[in-house]
Amino acid sequence: MPLLLLALALGVFVYFVWRARTSSLTRDCRWRQNRSEGLWRCAYCGAEQAGEVMPRQCLRGQGDSRS
């Protein structure tokens, strides 16, 4: 039984480490798509990125942003 609990704890730890490494978005990133312009705009900092797929990188402090 203790071995099962240890394996479960290790699995949870590995999941959280993996989750942190696969996304660099911060808690404040809130991407909204403007389809007419073909842009994604962050509701938090105002960063913009063109494309059809939601950005996976935080662009705070890069390019045009509200100060």
Residue 9 domain-assigned (yes or no): yes
Residue 23 domain-assigned (yes or no): yes
Average pLDDT over residues 15-36: 76
Q: Residue 50: which H helix or E strand, with range?
A: strand 48-50
The predicted pLDDT at position 65 comes to: 42
Domains of the chain: total: 1
Q: Tell whether the torsion through CA atoms of 3, 5, 6 and 12 is positive or negative.
A: positive
Determine the Cα–Cα distance for residues 54 and 48; give it in Å rounded to an integer. Answer: 11
The predicted pLDDT at position 25 comes to: 58
Calculate what percentage of the chain has a pLDDT beyond 70.
Answer: 76
Residue 44 pLDDT greater than 70, yes or no: yes
The predicted pLDDT at position 46 comes to: 83
**CA nearest neighbour of 56 among 20, 27, 25:** 25
Residue 42 domain-assigned (yes or no): yes
**CA-based angle 29:38:22, to the nearest 5?**
35
Residue 13 domain-assigned (yes or no): yes
Average pLDDT, whole number, for the chain?
Answer: 80
Average pLDDT over residues 30-57: 86
